[in-house]
Amino acid sequence: MLFVRMGCGYDAASTVADVLVEGDLRGASSHGVTRVKDYYQLVEAKRLCPSAVPEVVYQSPSTATLSGASALGPVVAQRGMQLAIDKARTAGTGWVAVRGSHHFGVAAYYSSMALEANMVGVAMSNGYPLVAPVFCTSRMLGTNPISVAVPALRHSPLLFDFSTASITRSRLLGAAADRVELPRGLVQDALGCPTTDPSTIQRGGAILPLGGDRVHGGHKGFCIGAVVDIFSSLFSGANFGPFVPPPVSYLPLPSERVGEGIGHFFGAIRVDAFRPEQEFRQAVDQWIEVFRTAKGVEGTPGVMIPGEQEQLTKDTRLKDGIPLSPQVVRDLNGVAKVLGCEPIPYTPDSERKNEG
CATH code matching the domain that covers 50-166+208-276, chosen among 1.10.760.10, 3.10.270.10, 2.30.30.100, 3.30.1370.60: 3.30.1370.60
The CA distance from 246 to 142, in Å, is 10
What are the distances in angstroms from CA 160 to CA 110, 113, 243, 310?
A: 12, 13, 27, 10
Residues 6+ away with beta carbon under 8 Å from 266? 77, 80, 81, 83, 84, 95, 96, 98, 110, 121, 122, 123, 124
Averaged pLDDT, groups of 10, the chain, 356 residues long: 96 98 96 96 98 98 98 98 98 98 98 97 98 98 98 97 92 88 95 96 95 95 98 98 96 96 98 97 98 96 95 97 92 96 77 54
The pLDDT value recorded for residue 351 is: 61
Q: Strand 93-101 to strand 63-67: parallel, antiparallel, or no bridges (unpaired)?
A: parallel
The pLDDT value recorded for residue 197 is: 96
The CA distance from 341 to 2, in Å, is 7
Q: How many CA atoms lie within 13 A of 14 on its CB side?
A: 3
The CA distance from 184 to 196, in Å, is 6
Domain boundaries, the chain: 50-166+208-276, 326-355
The CA distance from 293 to 120, in Å, is 24
The pLDDT value recorded for residue 353 is: 53
Which long-range contacts does 84-90 make (Cβ < 8 Å, 24+ apart)? Answer: 84/114, 84/266, 84/267, 84/268, 85/113, 85/114, 85/117, 85/119, 85/121, 85/268, 87/61, 87/62, 87/63, 87/268, 88/62, 88/114, 88/117, 88/119, 88/268, 88/269, 88/270, 89/117, 89/270, 90/61
Q: How many CA atoms lie within 13 A of 91 on its CB side?
A: 18
Determine the angle formed by the axes of helices 10-25 and 73-91, rounding to 10 degrees: 90
Which DSSP state fits 315? H
The pLDDT value recorded for residue 352 is: 58
Cα distance between the two ends of the chain: 32
The CA distance from 77 to 85, in Å, is 12
